[in-house]
Amino acid sequence: MSATPPRRVLHLIVCGGPRAGQAGNGIRLAHARGWDVVVVATPAGLDFIDQPALEALSARPVFHAYRRDPDTPSLPPADATLVCPATFNTINKLAAGFSDNLALGLLTEAVGTRAPLVIAPALNSSQAGHPAFARSVNELRAAGAVVLIGPGIYEPVAKGTGRRPYRWDRALDAVDDLDSRRSEPGRT
């Protein structure tokens, strides 16, 4: 009798924005791909999600603050991290090294250890045009993160016109690609 291999753990960091409400779609798709999803919301992200629904889908609590009570469930270590939707605020704070909440703390550690990290922005074209954003994307890519922005990947649109469904398949394709490359012989 062979044991079932453990499922890979994906930390899904959900930031504050309308597309956070689509996180359930991402969880379902990630489960279908063999991921055990742990949702971590930024403080603003909590305002955009249906926390009980995401907890039911993931079969885990939604984490959003550092543990203060030893009886609180602990966050399992991640095999990969996906920030989706990643806001202008979180992307720039991460590139600058801010760690002022649980989500950013986990992200700064992922960057610092070069752990598999995919950042899927959800912002408008005015935000994307800010010079800090381009610098942040370049810094995060140089640190090994995959940032899904550009022609044919994700192109920001004018404010108020971005209510289209989020392409979770693209974000998870990037996560799966990083995970498979990490698993190749000779790679650590």
> Is residue 3 a contact partner of residue 31, using CB atoms and an 8 Å limit?
no
The H helix count followed by the E strand count for the chain is 7, 5
pTM for the model = 0.92
Domains and CATH numbers, the chain: 8-66+85-117+136-182 (3.40.50.1950)
The model's pLDDT over 103-118, given as tens digits with 9 standing for 90+, comes to 999 999 999 999 999 9
User: Which pLDDT belongs to residue 88?
Assistant: 97
| Spatial separation of the C-alpha atoms in residues 90 and 31, rounded to whole Å | 25
Residue type present at position 117: L
pLDDT score, position 68? 81
Q: Which residues of the chain have pLDDT under 70?
A: 1-6, 162-163, 183-188
Chain segment 143-174, per-residue pLDDT in tens: 999 999 998 888 888 887 766 778 899 999 99
> Given 3-state DSSP classes, what are the helix, strand and coil percentages for the chain, each rounded to the nearest 5?
45, 15, 40
The residues, ordered by sequence, that sit 6+ positions from 128 with a Cβ below 8 Å of its Cβ are 88, 121, 149, 156
**Cα–Cα distances in Å, from 120 out to 7, 15, 173, 182?**
23, 11, 11, 20
DSSP symbol at 184: S
